[in-house]
Amino acid sequence: MTTTVWRFSDGKAGHDAQSQGLLRALQERVTVSAYSIPVGQSGGGFWSWLSGTYRYGARLPVPDLLIGAGHATHWFLLAARRRWGGRTIVLMKPSLPLSWFDLCIVPEHDGPLQAANVLSTLGSLNSIQPCRGHDSRIGLIILGGPSRHYRWDSEEMLTQLERLVRERPRKQWLLTTSRRTPESMLRPLRDRVEFQCVPYASTDSDWLPARLSEAGEVWVSEDSVSMIYEALTAGAQLGLLKVQRGKENRMTSAIDILVERGWVGAPGQWQLAAGPGQTLNEAARCADWIKDQWLANH
């Protein structure tokens, strides 16, 4: 039997990575027919739900599962279920009551949520594939930048990078940036001989997953929380570069949970943590639950 999945997308890369990660994991376990449905930021989903006339799916097979990440997808998930049926899966702490959805997959750093329809995960889901072919000669550095949760200091980060390549020499160091990395950080990086600098603007969507699959160890600035979970999912040894925190919040809480459980060492600690002896693959774990609980007799 084929499981029909409607995946709702608000067009944001981080949200799409979550829903695509779960969809890919499901496709590895059951036969899936998948359809991506774009949603806008307007209130169209609410009115479709209220009227019970969600027309978008009229030419699609009736869904078994409706998946969405991002607040903009919530009313569309509910509207589609009301009109066409299927089970709703929301990939975050929803802005609407938990009980309105069939399954809520929520990172535990978003707060303890106790309900029969909640699966708690260590971080957000992603679409990275675990890999065992890591090359110990290659090191990868991923830099973030200023955010409302962290105070970025480019000079301090350059000092850490100099110490990193001194403390943990590798035959090849690759360094990449993000959209948040300031120009004040980029200028001195381009002239360094210790590593090859590949700015975010020079990469495509396949570049980072490929590098994560091959690097023997990965160092990420602690403000780049989604990159940290992606590196752990890839199975790489991981270290964190320290960034000055603002107020304690769910992002800093996420880092503290990883340190406490031994997934990573404390930010700025140059010896890599031994880790819990397993690869982090939360998309696979959630897909297993859906298969076993909902699709076993499908």
Decide if pLDDT at 277 tops 70.
yes
Q: Do residues 286 and 252 share a domain?
A: no
Find, among 196, 112, 192, 183, the residue nearest to 154 by Cα. 183
Q: Do residues 121 and 147 share a domain?
A: no
Full-model pTM:
0.91
Q: Do residues 56 and 86 share a domain?
A: yes
Q: Could you tell me the two tokens for 229? A: 């979970």
* 271 within a domain of the structure (yes/no): no
Q: Do residues 146 and 99 share a domain?
A: no
Pairing label, strands 135-142, 215-221: parallel
Of 173 and 42, the one with more pLDDT: 173
Angular region, 228: left φ>0, alpha ψ -120 to 50, beta rest = alpha
Tell me if 216 sits within 8 A of 189, measured CB to CB.
no
* 274 within a domain of the structure (yes/no): no
Decide if pLDDT at 41 tops 70.
no
* 269 within a domain of the structure (yes/no): no
Decide if pLDDT at 40 tops 80.
no
* 202 within a domain of the structure (yes/no): yes
Find, among 232, 226, 284, the residue nearest to 23 by Cα. 284
Range of the domain at 63: 3-126+282-295
Decide if pLDDT at 79 tops 80.
yes
User: CA separation (Å) from 296 to 7, 31, 126, 207, 289?
Assistant: 21, 12, 24, 36, 10
Decide if pLDDT at 63 tops 90.
yes
* 43 within a domain of the structure (yes/no): yes
Q: Do residues 141 and 256 share a domain?
A: yes
Tell me if 210 sits within 8 A of 129, measured CB to CB.
no
Facing residues of 219 across strands?
A: 141, 239
CA angle 49, 52, 57 (to 5 degrees): 85
Tell me if 133 sits within 8 A of 212, measured CB to CB.
no
Residue-level pLDDT at 27:
98
Q: Do residues 164 and 214 share a domain?
A: yes
Q: Which helix (H) or strand (E) holds 108?
A: none
Residue 5: alpha-carbon gap to chain centroid? 20
* 88 within a domain of the structure (yes/no): yes
d(CA 39, CA 173): 40
Q: Please report, for the domain that includes residue 156, its CATH number.
A: 3.40.50.2000
The predicted model gives 47-73 an average pLDDT of: 92
Q: Do residues 114 and 162 share a domain?
A: no
* 276 within a domain of the structure (yes/no): no
Q: Do residues 160 and 95 share a domain?
A: no
* 265 within a domain of the structure (yes/no): no
The predicted model gives 193-215 an average pLDDT of: 92
Q: Do residues 122 and 140 share a domain?
A: no
Which residue reads 């990078």 in tokens? Answer: 161
The mean pLDDT of the chain is 92
Q: Do residues 112 and 27 share a domain?
A: yes
Find, among 277, 111, 129, 89, the residue nearest to 212 by Cα. 129
d(CA 93, CA 9): 16
Name the band, by pLDDT with cuts 50, 70 and 90, for residue 56: confident
Q: Do residues 59 and 81 share a domain?
A: yes
Decide if pLDDT at 142 tops 80.
yes
Q: Do residues 183 and 250 share a domain?
A: yes
Q: Coil, helix or strand for 105?
A: strand
Number of domains in the chain: 2
